[in-house]
Structure 1
């Protein structure tokens, strides 16, 4: 029923959507592939029609299963796949076999190509190792950014890392033999201090230089023209705080933030109140700078509240238009004997609320954005 309603709604919006597509603001990279430009225009159109739902590593594993073709906790609960599929390039620069223990980079490539072939959208983050210490992205030693800027002692090392990333992203091709468009989200959660590129570990000027250098090397030196660039923060309280590290409109296509629920929403409205304030700030910036806004990561671990999706999350978004919401991964039982997941799985006590969320006219899953991908 929901799918039929969406077809009718999109049909009614065809003319206005077409006009919007003609006036959508151009990508930062004027040499972007036709497929990438087409996806960007569709993101603008879909912004008027609803909020796409995304899930990290959705096809790779879920609670109590690993690498089973066609499986997805989202699909098994809602009957449909997410519209947006999140992935990460962690360990790629270290020449490791895979980003995580569950699948290899070769597996991830196959799954990302599968997403494209079935009309979905891929977004990629990169938990880059600390170039100064060689430790993980969470080693927030100060001064690492400075060492990879031009004339820094680790500049050449970083360029070699970018060579690896560029090669991988350019290897992603669909059955149409075209390079797959990617929403690329480097240096994420930059207003936090837990990553080596985060606030307090480098100056705003150093961060802006890092972003611009990375952008130019990827687009000009490596000719990676299938990227839509996503600027991403963590918490912020003012417009100035959100924009302090901003590299400029020339280098950004989507703006976003990450925000998780840590306090019981039955007892406190702190998540809703803070998120809505942040959406208000981001909405103003998006309008002034002509960027697409998104909630690039979110979730409530184990989802112990039965109205999280339809109440807490949707109350937090309010009436603001955002492109997509991406829930974090469904790892399942961790080595610390802890359950770690952010989307209900089949048999979860709160799966009905997720189905109610799926059935909202405002939420968009894979079947619904097929209408928009028909002319690809």
Structure 2
């Protein structure tokens, strides 16, 4: 009893005291917001900030984020007070900056999390296994990321530099960010999880020092955000480097009322004296039976906060089927119009604080980075994938190739560096960037070997290419590749996509089969229609693969000059998503790695004839050629079945213009699921399972 009384006294004193930000140089707006947060739970009403997460920053999600915000308004007549994004991919930071700026100027508070890629391997945030040891559970210590001298440290600093440059843009625009790094650290599904308290604390403090003292970012409020259902403060880095604390909660099927103190986690955070938020809330399970069929009443949430968790000052609904506007839910109006709940109209107008002149959405320059802020690009590091000078062999002259209609051509003759150049000569070159050159190797005579997780990406949408293909309603994708093995499943050789759920065109390997996917305006969703080559067509040897699609819908998949699959995909290419990137060897989200040699990728704005496919096959590549196999006795002629889909919200509104923050209510139309950040594995039973194939999501943040 005495301990409880003393704890209550300490917490009350912390609440009543004028809070000092962790960064002593925090700007006036950041201090005002922190002071506001501390004072909320002593109020009799207007004390819980409502929130709706936007989406992952991957180049496609600005409108998705607006749709999810608008869905809440359409149902309740109120705008959520806070919204956020995730810097899942460095290439998508432009849209992150733009969305956070626009929503800040609209009157919202904003938050940012990050699925950091693995600095040792270049893999996704869930690439936690240590394949350099006999026991993959022998995790790499994050302490190595705080000391110069290793490639992992260099990669880590590069990621921080990229982030800092974009956060500086937000500071210049007057935007204060609730910065929530290294979230769910008490779990084991991210590479930064499962660390000792000392090592994790060192990593957090190193980042804090780098951002505040080295980079001089004074617009951040630092949020420590563990997961529910386990000890929340074992790795707490200290009150002097934390401004707010929070929990990530995904409720169980029968979880009524809300349970966020089963392991004492809520009480542990109360004891820190910091404002406590549910920065990531999913009202239905993340995995297990019934994970995506459970109904939820949002009125129960505010009921339970009042009854059991009165120190909660913020709730941010997650995206996809966890968004507040999801069609299976009810009680959203009860929640948003409760006297305890703060909506956007209830907030002080932070954007009017005198940190910088207001910037309107139409004048934003989201991809501009301060030139005096170091930004990581692949070319700033000495390439580690170059061939030694002695082994740089001359490239053999190729045979005569078809050139009519060529729009992009990658011959992989560079031999060194991190840029793959478009040599088509069709207009402005669409060059590609190798995200982790150390995970690739240039081959003598031409070609590039991908032996660890990597993404070779355009870094932006190829407008010229899309304009040409959509106008012609036809396309050919040609690839000369040598798979490393025939055990890869869903590995992307080439993809026009930004995630695993939406694409225009892709070529993937499933064991001994090749899969094509293509979007058309009739009969296909955002993930495209699937067509497969028969088993035993993919082999660990050099192969020539071609997908052709003509304006009349005839679609063929060739392997070594032989048609292995044909289908009729009716419709036009008018519904192609023109913000998707070009990617080789992976999805942009890092969730579908392909390993092997890439020797050529070509794109045409017409369907090559069989004779032309044979001509390119005969031309060979890099002095190598293959002989076409004996044609199979039967070629599939039926239109392939589509992968099963996960239920999606039916009340999500129409996308708005990307430069205008909506102020009125649009007509509601269905939307495809939000893009994933990364797939998960080794999650406790209470966590999210990935949806069905090809709509696989990493569920959570």
Give the alignment's TM-score, normalised by structure 1: 0.75
Q: CA RMSD in A?
A: 3.1
Could you tell me how far apart the structure 2 residues matched to 1:329 and 1:311 are? 19
Q: Report how far residue 48 of structure 1 moved.
A: 2.9
Matches of 1:249 and 1:111, distance apart in 2: 30
Q: More helix per residue: 1 or 2? A: 1
Closer, same or farther in 2 for the Cα pair 1:57/1:71, shift >3 Å?
Answer: closer
Corresponding residue for 1:217?
A: 210
Change (3 A) 1:250 1:319: closer
On the 8 A contact 2:145/2:156 being kept in 1, the answer is yes
How much has 1:128 moved relative to structure 2?
A: 0.3
Q: CA deviation at 1:305?
A: 2.7
Residue 262 of structure 1 corresponds to: 252
Mark the CA change 1:147 to 1:304 in structure 2 (over 3 Å): closer, same or farther.
same
| Secondary structure of 2:79 counterpart | coil
**Partner of residue 297, structure 1:** 280
Determine if contact 1:120/1:366 at 8 Å carries over to the other structure: yes
Q: 2:324 aligns with which of 324, 331, 343?
A: 343
Could you tell me which runs of 5 or more consecutive residues in structure 1 were left unpaired when the two chains were aligned: 1-19, 99-104, 331-339
Q: In the superposition, relative to structure 1, how do residues 179 and 363 fare at CA in structure 2: closer, same or farther (>3 Å)?
A: same
Instruction: State whether residues 295 and 325 of structure 1, in contact with CA within 8 Å, keep that contact through their aligned partners in structure 2.
Output: yes
1:325 aligns with 2:315: yes
Compared with structure 1, are the counterparts of its residues 243 and 118 closer, same or farther at alpha carbon in structure 2 (3 Å cutoff)? same
2:249 touches 2:260 (CA, 8 Å); kept in 1? no
d(CA) in 1 for partners of 2:53, 2:300:
22
Determine if contact 2:275/2:311 at 8 Å carries over to the other structure: no
How many pairs are equivalent?
318
Gapped runs of 5+ residues in structure 2?
Answer: 1-13, 130-138, 285-291, 355-701
Aligned to 2:104: 116
In the alignment, does 2:353 pair up with 1:365?
Answer: no
Task: Say whether the 8 Å CA contact 2:233–2:269 is kept in structure 1.
Answer: no
The answer to whether the 8 A contact 1:62-1:72 is kept is no
Partner residue, 1:188 = 183
Which structure 2 residues correspond to residues 229-248 of structure 1 after superposition, within 5 A? 229-237=222-230, 241-248=231-238
Deviation of 1:245 after TM superposition, in Å, equals 1.0
In structure 1, distance between residues paired with 2:208 and 2:347: 29
1:75-133 deviation per Cα after TM superposition (whole angstroms, max 9, x unaligned): 111112211112111112xxx2x2xxxxxx32332221122112211111011001111
Provide the rounded CA distance (Å) in 1 between the counterparts of 2:55 and 2:71: 7
Give the conservation status (yes or no) of the 8 Å contact 1:191–1:198. yes
Question: What is the TM-score with the length of structure 2 in the denominator?
Answer: 0.42
Pick closer, same or farther for the CA change 1:21–1:277 going to 2, 3 Å: closer
Structure 1 residue aligned with 2:259, among 245, 258, 272? 272
Q: Which residue in the other structure is 1:252 paired with?
A: 242
Q: Show CA shifts across 1:313-344 (max 9, x none).
A: 632662422220111013xxxxxxxxx34312
Cα distance in structure 2, aligned partners of 1:83 and 1:62: 23
Equivalent residues in 2 for 1:14-33, closer than 5 Å: 23-33=17-27
Are the aligned partners of 1:272 and 1:313 in contact in 2 as well (CA < 8 Å)?
no
Deviations 1:207-255 (A, max 9, x none): 1110011000111111111100011111355xxx322211111111111
Structure 1 position 186, deviation (Å):
0.5
* Alpha-carbon shift at residue 355 of structure 1 (Å): 0.4
SS across alignment from 1:220:
helix
**8 Å Cα contact 2:317/2:323 also seen in 1:** yes
Could you tell me whether the CA contact under 8 Å between 1:58 and 1:73 is conserved in 2? no
What is the match of residue 52 of structure 1? Answer: 49
For the residue of structure 2 that corresponds to 1:166, the secondary structure is helix
Which residue of structure 1 aligns with residue 304 of structure 2? 315
Of residues 194, 198, 210 in structure 2, which corresponds to 1:205? 198
- Between the aligned partners of 1:22 and 1:210, the Cα distance in structure 2 is 31
For residue 235 of structure 2, give the secondary structure of its aligned residue in structure 1.
coil
Residue number among 164, 172, 179 corresponding to 2:162 in the alignment: 164
Following the alignment from structure 1 to structure 2, what is the Cα–Cα distance between the partners of residues 29 and 365?
A: 28
SS at match of 1:272: coil
Query: Between Structure 1 and Structure 2, whose CA radius of gyration is higher?
Result: 2
Provide closer, same or farther for how the CA distance between residues 69 and 243 of structure 1 changes in structure 2, counting only shifts above 3 A.
Answer: closer
- Alignment partner of 1:143 out of 135, 140, 143: 140
1:59-98 matches, within 5 Å, as: 66=64, 72-92=70-90, 96=91, 98=92
Structure 1 residues 315 and 275: CA distance shift in structure 2, 3 A: farther
Equivalent-residue separation in structure 1 for 2:341 and 2:106 (angstroms)? 19
Aligned partners of 1:219, 1:24: CA distance in 2, in Å? 21
CA distance in 2, matches of 1:188, 1:344: 24
Q: Aligned-pair distance for 1:150?
A: 0.7
Structure with larger RCO (C-alpha < 8 A, sep 6+)? 1
2:120 is aligned with 1:126: no
Q: Is the 8 A contact 1:191 1:236 kept in 2?
A: no
Query: Post-superposition shift, 1:185?
Result: 0.6
Superposed, which structure 2 residues align to 1:2-13 within 5 Å? Answer: none
Asked if the contact 2:282–2:317 (Cα under 8 Å) also holds between the matched residues in 1, the reply is yes
| CA distance in 1 between partners of 2:159 and 2:261 (Å) | 36
Distance 2:80 2:56 in 1: 10
